[in-house]
């Protein structure tokens, strides 16, 4: 087939001869999973590129920010009916890959979700310099109606997406594509897995850290050691021990894996504020209506709020809801149904605190919650930690007030979804423990705090992640011992030990999301 490509733009098109060659290419740029889709004739930048009927295949893989494009106004110019809200997921880090292996950042690649079909379509394909893979243009599809194209969206650490297009594919390569497994959410789309051994690399780094007493400290922006004794001492001390400079990675990760330290079983997962209800419209009215006066004359709203249970302190009930219009055009709220697909109702779900008269005191849009929980948290290591007073008088005087020790048993979690988050809230695994304050005289001292928590992360993890395992990290000292005792080498473990039934005691949790 004679494919007509502009010579100046062909740098974006790739032509691997086999799946092995494509895997090697993606492995070299750091990808561990790739989404592969053979494109139909009409898939181009003008028509938008159909991805799948289930938006979750994008949300589960890549770091995206969910928002709304507003309401549709035309049935002829838009796939949505007039008045229908259209969600979209913007890739937070997307680049197109050139043939020379360099990357070009894209301006605003996004998946637009049409809930009534349902379907997700890729849009906004241009790079920051105005270029794009020409094989995705409407001109290309007109000139080459029979051309076969393969869209590849590769996932790198923390949900970064690198895209490329394969053209002029050989019959053998096409056959290999067909043999790949499909995604559970989108069986027609193929999944390519590339082993990166990131977990093994992190485990080797942790082996030199766990089981040791470390002075409470942190690294400054220049990599210099500073004493630290605040509430985040465990997290900062771990980052220091692993050489992670604060703010160089916004969540203190290594090899694209989240690291979270623990000293108690209770975990605060995230703290997004409500973006709807009385709270969002008038914070003062919310506090005075549902709060109580403390000894200082300040209004507070507290109490444990679990789904579908009235909180005795606030009188509010936490609900996961599906809001839809009835035949008269009125919006009615229905209980969340975890058994129905999420994509068709993506524009109708919220989580609300409902008052005794049915009024919405505060609510969180699905966008607000999902943007705190997604693909960048798809691999997380929870480390137990303990902190004790540093007995060394001189070090204590210098600011090293604590000694921190990380446990050798860690909890390794993989793969989370938006559905898991909603189901955990709806079932009461995740609960709301608010702590806002309305100061009596000084608005500058008001506090807005919405804490979404679990009582025991070792139990809750099974609801939040697809895969949960406990590993025994073999410390550097133990590894040396195994190597120097020949009789033990036959039985000494050479990789992580799985502890499915182990119970881990925690004293405090400092989770950063």
Q: In this predicted structure, what is the pLDDT of residue 513?
A: 33
Of residues 283, 288, 286, the one with CA closest to residue 443: 283
pLDDT band at 84 (very low <50, low <70, confident <90, very high): low
Backbone angles phi, psi at 112, to 5 degrees: -95, 130
Regarding whether 133 and 114 lie in a shared domain, the answer is yes
Contacts of residue 296, Cβ cutoff 8 Å, sequence gap at least 6: 440
Regarding whether 405 and 422 lie in a shared domain, the answer is no
Mean pLDDT of 289-304: 96
| 3 occurs within a structural domain | no
Regarding whether 391 and 320 lie in a shared domain, the answer is no
The H or E element containing residue 385 is: strand 379-389
pLDDT digits (tens, 9 = 90+) for 45-60: 998 999 999 989 999 9
pLDDT band at 247 (very low <50, low <70, confident <90, very high): low
Q: In this predicted structure, what is the pLDDT of residue 476?
A: 64
| C-beta separation of 215 from 234 below 8 A | no
**Beta-carbon-side half-sphere exposure of residue 13 (alpha carbons within 13 Å):** 21
Q: In this predicted structure, what is the pLDDT of residue 70?
A: 52
Measured CA distances, 310 to 22, 115, 306, 340, 354 (Å): 55, 32, 8, 26, 9
**Least confident piece of the model among 48-62, 69-83, 134-148, 475-489:** 69-83
| 457 occurs within a structural domain | no
Regarding whether 77 and 18 lie in a shared domain, the answer is yes
| 459 occurs within a structural domain | no
Q: In this predicted structure, what is the pLDDT of residue 427?
A: 97
Contacts of residue 317, Cβ cutoff 8 Å, sequence gap at least 6: 305, 308, 309, 310, 311, 353, 354
Domain boundaries, position 325: 273-371+417-451
Regarding whether 355 and 499 lie in a shared domain, the answer is no
State yes or no: pLDDT of 315 exceeds 80. yes
| 4 occurs within a structural domain | no
Regarding whether 252 and 237 lie in a shared domain, the answer is yes
Contacts of residue 312, Cβ cutoff 8 Å, sequence gap at least 6: 303
- Which CATH number characterizes residue 98's domain? 2.40.330
pLDDT band at 221 (very low <50, low <70, confident <90, very high): confident
What is the pLDDT of the chain when averaged over all its residues?
86
Regarding whether 263 and 380 lie in a shared domain, the answer is yes
Mean pLDDT of 330-358: 93
Q: In this predicted structure, what is the pLDDT of residue 253?
A: 74
Task: Say what percent of the chain tops pLDDT 90.
Answer: 69
Q: Where a domain ends, among 175, 193, 211? A: 193
| 344 occurs within a structural domain | yes
pLDDT digits (tens, 9 = 90+) for 144-185: 888 899 999 999 988 999 999 999 899 999 999 999 999 999
Q: How far is CA 165 from the centre of its chain?
A: 26
Q: In this predicted structure, what is the pLDDT of residue 19?
A: 97
Q: What does the H/E/C string look like for 351-378?
A: EEEECCCCCEEEEEEHHHHHCCCCHHHC
Of 5 and 256, which is predicted with more confidence? 256
Q: Where a domain ends, among 193, 226, 251? A: 193
pLDDT digits (tens, 9 = 90+) for 465-479: 999 999 999 886 665
DSSP per-residue letters across 94-140: EEEEPTTS-EEEBS--EEEEETTTTEEEEE---BTTS---GGGSHHH
Mean pLDDT of 120-137: 92
pTM value is 0.83
Count of domains observed in the chain: 3
pLDDT digits (tens, 9 = 90+) for 391-429: 999 999 999 999 999 999 999 999 999 999 999 999 999
Regarding whether 301 and 247 lie in a shared domain, the answer is no
Rounded to whole angstroms, how far apart are CA atoms 273 and 245?
28
State yes or no: pLDDT of 504 exceeds 50. no
Rg from Cα positions in the chain: 26
Q: In this predicted structure, what is the pLDDT of residue 471?
A: 94
User: Which position has the token pair 């790198």?
Assistant: 156
pLDDT digits (tens, 9 = 90+) for 270-280: 999 999 999 99
């Amino acid at each position: 087939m004679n494919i007509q490509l502009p010579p100046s733009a062909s740098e974006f098109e790739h032509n691997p001869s086999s799946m092995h060659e494509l895997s090697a290419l993606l492995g070299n740029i750091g990808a561990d999973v790739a989404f592969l889709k053979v494109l139909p004739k009409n898939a181009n930048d003008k028509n938008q590129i159909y991805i799948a009927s289930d938006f979750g295949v994008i949300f589960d893989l890549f770091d995206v920010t969910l928002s709304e494009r507003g309401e549709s106004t035309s049935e002829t110019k838009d796939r949505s009916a007039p008045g229908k809200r259209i969600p979209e997921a913007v890739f937070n880090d997307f680049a197109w890959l050139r043939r020379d292996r360099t990357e070009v950042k894209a301006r605003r690649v996004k998946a637009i979700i049409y809930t009534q079909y349902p379907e997700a379509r890729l849009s906004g394909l241009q790079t920051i310099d105005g270029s794009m893979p020409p094989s995705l243009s409407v001109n290309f599809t007109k000139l080459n109606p029979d051309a076969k194209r393969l869209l590849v969206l590769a996932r790198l650490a923390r949900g970064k997406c690198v895209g490329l297009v394969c053209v002029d594919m050989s019959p053998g390569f096409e056959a290999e594509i067909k043999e790949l497994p499909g995604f559970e959410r989108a069986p027609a789309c193929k999944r390519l897995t590339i082993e990166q051994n990131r977990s093994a690399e992190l485990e080797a780094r942790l082996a030199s850290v766990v089981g040791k007493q470390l002075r409470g400290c942190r690294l400054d922006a220049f990599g210099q050691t500073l004493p630290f004794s605040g509430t985040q001492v465990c997290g900062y001390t771990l980052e220091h021990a692993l050489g992670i400079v604060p703010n160089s990675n916004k969540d203190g990760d290594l090899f694209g894996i989240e690291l979270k330290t623990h000293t108690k079983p209770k975990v605060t997962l995230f703290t997004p504020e409500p973006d709807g209800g009385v709270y969002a419209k008038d914070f003062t009215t919310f506090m005075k209506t549902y709060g109580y006066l403390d000894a200082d004359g300040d209004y507070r709203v507290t109490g444990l709020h679990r789904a579908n249970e009235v909180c005795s302190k606030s009188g509010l009930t936490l609900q996961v809801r599906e809001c839809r219009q009835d035949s008269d055009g009125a919006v009615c709220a229905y209980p969340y149904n975890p058994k129905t697909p999420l994509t068709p109702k993506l524009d109708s779900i919220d989580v609300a605190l409902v008052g005794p008269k049915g009024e919405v005191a505060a609510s969180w849009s699905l966008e607000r919650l999902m943007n705190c929980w997604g693909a960048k948290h798809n691999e997380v290591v929870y480390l137990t930690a303990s902190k004790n007073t540093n007995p060394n008088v001189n070090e204590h005087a210098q600011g090293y007030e604590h000694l921190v020790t990380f446990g050798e048993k860690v909890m390794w979690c993989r793969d989370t979804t938006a559905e898991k988050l909603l189901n955990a809230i709806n079932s009461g695994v995740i609960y709301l423990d608010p702590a806002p304050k309305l100061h009596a005289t000084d608005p500058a001292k008001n506090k807005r705090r919405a804490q979404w928590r679990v009582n025991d992360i070792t139990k809750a993890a099974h609801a939040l992640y697809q895969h949960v395992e406990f590993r025994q990290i073999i410390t550097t000292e133990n590894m040396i011992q195994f190597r120097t005792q020949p009789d033990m080498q036959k039985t000494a473990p050479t990789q992580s030990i799985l502890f499915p039934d182990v119970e881990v005691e925690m004293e405090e949790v400092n989770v950063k999301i």
